[in-house]
Amino acid sequence: MPKILHDKLMKTAKSRGYGEERTGAYVYGTMSKIEEARKHSRKTAKNKVRRLGKPKTDDERRATHRARYGTSKLPPRGTGLNR
């Protein structure tokens, strides 16, 4: 697939009238963005368990809050974090 994608991007760049240097930058940047999106989507899809409407328990919320913000004090549900 990368070869097919590369050729398609080269064709698009040519139709847009990009020069040689700009074409290379366009192809490299676009392929990089696509690969990063694929990597991210595969990573989250494998490691996350869908909760299907079941909210986190207070212990799960506290663990997540501690990992992100370094404190154990939880804000009330639905308020977000006010700084």
- Domains identified in the chain, total number: 1
**Structural domain harbouring 31:** 1-47
User: What is the chain's pLDDT, residue by residue, as a tens digit (83 residues)?
Assistant: 689 999 999 999 999 999 999 999 999 999 999 988 887 776 555 666 777 888 888 999 899 889 988 988 888 887 765 65
* Cα→Cα distances 53→35, 56, 67, Å: 31, 9, 23
Identity of the amino acid at 76: P
Residue 66 is assigned to a structural domain of this protein: no
Residue 81 is assigned to a structural domain of this protein: no
SS3 19: coil
Residue 60 is assigned to a structural domain of this protein: no
* Cα→Cα distances 6→15, 30, 38, Å: 14, 9, 16
Residue 68 is assigned to a structural domain of this protein: no
Q: Cβ(7)–Cβ(29) under 8 Å?
A: no
Instruction: Give the pLDDT of residue 80.
Output: 66
